[in-house]
C-alpha cells in the first residue's frame, strides 16, 4: 500500500464543526456525557480511568465478546488484559499482535513515553469522570498487558499511568489523521478511516451503545448517493483518488469475521477484492487457506473460481433433486389411486379414459413414451439391486 499523504488542513476543513460523542459508552443514565473546557496540557492518567474509543479506525485487538464485556463494565482493563494474554497462543496473528504490544510496553516503561496519547475528559451524569481516549489505544493496552504480566499494582493510587495530552473536545477527524500517518495501516483500517471521514462530513456519528463498530462504518455503503464532490474531497485530503477510496469502502461489506481476520493478518486490498468474488459461505475458508498455504494471486484466483463452480454444481444438483422428488410423488400418487380403487378396473380402462380426454395423439404418444422409458429404467434398477 503506498504511503498516505495527509493534508490535515483539508481534513479539518470539511464536515461538521461539532465533534460529537453520542452514546459511545455504557451509562445507566439517559443523559449523554458532557465535556468541560480546560487548557490543553500533558497529564499522567491511571489506566483504570481511561476508556478507548471503540469506533476508532485502527484494528481493535478485542474480539466482539471481550469488547462487549469491557465496554459494558463487566470486565475492567486488567481483567481484559488477562484475557488477551491467555489468547495469544490460539492464533499466530493474535500472538504477534500481543507480542508487539508487550514490546511496546517494555519500551514505554524503560524509556518513558515519547509521544503522548490524546483524549478528552468526560463527565457523565451521576458517574465518575474518565478520560476518553482519542489516540494512543495501543499504548494503553501495551501498559495494561505489562501490568498484568509483571503483576504490577492495580490500585488507583499506584497503578501504571498513560501520558495523555488533554484536548478540549474529542475530534474524530484528528483521530483519523493520526491513524493515517501510520505506515503499517492495513487495508481494512484504511477503509474504516475513509468511512469515518465521509460519515462525519455528513453528520453521521456513532449513537448506539450496543452497536458493533463495523455496523457504524458500513453505514457509508448504505448511503445510496453521496453528496456531489464529497468523496473526491475526502480522497484529495488523504492523497488518494475517489475510485481508489471506493474500492476500499466496498471491503466493508465483507462479514465481521473476515474483516477481523484480514486486520490481524494485514491482508491487502487486492486479495480481499478477490475473496469478495467467492461465494459468501466459502470466503473465510478460502482466505484462511490462502494464508496458511501462502498462495500466490493466481492460486487464490483459482480457489475462488473452483468454489464458484462447486456452488453452481450444487445448486444444479439441488434443483434436480427437487424435480426427482416431484416425479416420485406423482408416481406414488398414481399407484396409490390404483391400489385404493380396484373398482375402476384394469389399467387398460384407465388408459382409455385418459385417451378420451386428450385430443392430440402426439401428446398421448409422448405420455406413453415417458412411462415406457421410466418402466425400463425402474426394471434395470431392480435388476441391479438383485445382483
Looking at residue 183, its pLDDT comes to 64
Q: Are residues 10 and 62 in the same domain?
A: no
Closest CA to 165 of 121, 123, 117: 117
pLDDT digits (tens, 9 = 90+) for 320-340: 677 778 888 888 887 887 787
Q: Are residues 111 and 253 in the same domain?
A: no
The vertex-91 CA angle with 88 and 96, nearest 5°, equals: 60
- pLDDT-derived band at 89 (thresholds 50, 70, 90) equals confident
Looking at residue 175, its pLDDT comes to 87
The answer to whether residue 298 sits within a structural domain is no
pLDDT digits (tens, 9 = 90+) for 124-147: 888 889 999 999 999 999 999 999
The answer to whether residue 285 sits within a structural domain is no
Cα separations in angstroms, 93 against 85, 97, 99, 103, 186? 13, 6, 10, 15, 14
Q: Are residues 76 and 157 in the same domain?
A: yes
Q: How many CA atoms lie within 13 A of 258 on its CB side?
A: 25
Is 64 in contact with 212 (CB distance < 8 Å)?
yes
Span 98-104, mean pLDDT? 93
Lookup: cell for 341: 380403487
Span 1-24, mean pLDDT? 45
Q: Are residues 115 and 199 in the same domain?
A: no
Across 41-55, 110-124, 173-187, 247-261, least confident range: 173-187
Domain boundary among 120, 137, 170: 170
Following DSSP, what letter does each residue of 81-113 receive, concatenated? Answer: HHHHHHHTTT-HHHHHHHHHHHHHHHHHHHH--
> Could you give the number of structural domains in the chain?
3
The answer to whether residue 67 sits within a structural domain is yes
Lookup: cell for 113: 513515553
Looking at residue 289, its pLDDT comes to 93
pLDDT digits (tens, 9 = 90+) for 176-190: 888 888 767 899 999
Q: Are residues 261 and 186 in the same domain?
A: yes
The answer to whether residue 324 sits within a structural domain is no
The answer to whether residue 66 sits within a structural domain is yes
Task: State yes or no: pLDDT of 203 exceeds 70.
Answer: yes
Q: Are residues 184 and 124 in the same domain?
A: no
The answer to whether residue 305 sits within a structural domain is no
Q: Are residues 209 and 258 in the same domain?
A: yes
Say if strands 130-135 and 161-166 run parallel, antiparallel, or are unpaired: unpaired
Q: Are residues 38 and 143 in the same domain?
A: yes
pTM above the 0.85 mark? no
Q: Are residues 145 and 246 in the same domain?
A: no
Beta strands in 76-235 (DSSP E): 117-122, 130-135, 161-166
- pLDDT-derived band at 15 (thresholds 50, 70, 90) equals very low
The answer to whether residue 225 sits within a structural domain is yes
232/372 Cα distance (integer angstroms): 69
Looking at residue 172, its pLDDT comes to 85
Residues 6 or more apart in contact with residue 257 via CB below 8 angstroms: 284
* Domain containing residue 94: 20-170
Higher-pLDDT residue of 135 and 113 is: 135
The answer to whether residue 55 sits within a structural domain is yes
Q: Are residues 27 and 164 in the same domain?
A: yes
Task: State yes or no: pLDDT of 21 exceeds 60.
Answer: no
191/249 Cα distance (integer angstroms): 5
Backbone angles phi, psi at 112, to 5 degrees: 70, 160
Q: How many CB atoms lie within 10 A of CB 137?
A: 20
Q: How many CB atoms lie within 10 A of CB 307?
A: 18
Is 241 in contact with 7 (CB distance < 8 Å)?
no
Q: Are residues 26 and 81 in the same domain?
A: yes
Domain boundary among 276, 299, 329: 276
Q: Are residues 149 and 242 in the same domain?
A: no
Domain boundary among 170, 193, 216: 170
pLDDT digits (tens, 9 = 90+) for 249-302: 999 999 998 998 899 899 999 999 999 999 999 999 999 999 989 999 999 999
Amino acid at each position: 500500500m503506498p504511503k498516505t499523504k495527509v493534508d490535515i488542513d483539508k481534513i479539518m476543513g470539511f464536515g461538521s464543526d461539532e465533534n460529537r460523542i453520542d452514546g459511545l459508552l455504557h451509562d445507566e443514565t439517559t443523559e449523554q456525557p458532557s465535556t468541560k473546557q480546560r487548557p490543553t496540557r500533558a497529564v499522567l492518567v491511571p489506566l483504570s480511568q481511561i476508556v478507548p474509543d471503540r469506533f476508532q479506525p485502527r484494528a481493535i485487538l478485542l474480539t466482539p465478546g471481550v469488547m462487549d464485556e469491557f465496554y459494558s463494565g463487566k470486565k475492567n482493563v486488567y481483567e481484559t488484559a488477562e484475557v488477551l494474554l491467555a489468547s495469544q497462543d490460539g492464533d499466530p496473528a493474535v500472538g504477534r499482535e500481543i507480542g508487539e504490544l508487550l514490546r511496546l510496553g517494555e519500551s514505554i516503561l524503560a524509556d518513558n513515553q515519547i509521544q503522548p496519547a490524546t483524549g478528552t475528559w468526560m463527565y457523565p451524569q451521576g458517574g465518575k469522570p474518565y478520560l476518553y481516549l482519542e489516540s494512543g489505544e495501543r499504548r494503553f493496552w501495551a501498559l495494561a498487558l505489562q501490568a498484568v504480566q509483571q503483576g504490577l499494582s492495580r490500585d488507583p493510587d499506584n497503578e501504571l499511568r498513560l501520558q495523555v495530552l488533554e484536548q478540549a473536545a474529542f475530534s474524530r477527524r484528528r483521530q483519523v489523521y493520526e491513524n493515517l500517518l501510520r505506515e503499517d495501516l492495513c487495508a481494512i483500517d484504511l477503509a474504516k478511516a475513509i468511512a469515518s471521514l465521509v460519515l462525519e462530513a455528513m453528520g453521521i456519528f456513532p449513537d448506539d451503545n450496543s452497536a458493533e463498530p463495523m455496523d457504524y462504518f458500513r453505514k457509508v455503503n448504505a448511503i445510496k448517493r453521496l453528496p456531489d464532490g464529497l468523496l473526491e474531497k475526502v480522497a484529495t485530503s488523504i492523497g488518494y483518488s475517489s475510485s481508489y477510496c471506493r474500492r476500499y469502502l466496498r471491503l466493508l461489506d465483507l462479514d465481521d469475521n473476515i474483516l477481523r481476520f484480514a486486520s490481524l493478518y494485514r491482508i491487502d486490498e487486492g486479495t480481499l477484492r478477490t475473496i469478495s468474488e467467492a461465494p459468501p459461505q466459502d470466503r473465510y475458508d478460502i482466505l484462511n487457506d490462502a494464508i496458511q498455504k501462502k498462495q500466490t494471486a493466481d492460486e487464490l484466483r483459482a480457489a475462488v473460481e473452483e468454489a464458484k463452480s462447486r456452488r453452481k454444481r450444487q445448486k444444479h444438483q439441488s434443483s434436480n433433486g427437487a424435480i426427482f422428488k416431484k416425479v416420485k410423488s406423482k408416481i406414488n400418487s398414481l399407484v396409490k389411486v390404483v391400489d385404493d380403487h380396484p373398482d375402476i378396473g384394469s389399467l387398460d380402462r384407465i388408459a382409455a379414459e385418459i385417451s378420451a380426454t386428450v385430443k392430440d395423439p402426439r401428446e398421448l404418444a409422448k405420455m406413453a413414451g415417458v412411462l415406457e422409458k421410466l418402466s425400463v429404467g425402474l426394471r434395470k434398477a431392480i435388476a441391479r439391486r438383485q445382483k
